Structure 1
Amino acid sequence: MSRAEHVLAIAESWIGTPYRHQGATKGIGCDCIGLVLGVWRELYGSEPPMTIPPYAPDWAERSCEERLLHAGRQLFGAAMPLSEAKPGDILVFRWRAGCAAKHVGILAGDGWFIHAYEQAAVTRSALVDGWRRRIVAVHRFG
Structure 2
Amino acid sequence: MASDQPIGVVELRIPAQAEYLQLVRSVVGAAVSCQPSVPPDRVTDLRLAVSEAATNAIEAHGESLVNDRVTMRCHLTGSQVILEITDQGGGFDPQSVPDLPEVEDVKRLQHESGMGLSLMRHLTDETTVQVGESGTVIRLKINFE
Q: Which has the larger radius of gyration?
A: 2
TM-score normalised over the length of structure 2:
0.31
TM-score normalised over the length of structure 1:
0.31
Greater share of strand residues, 1 or 2? 2
Greater share of helix residues, 1 or 2? 2
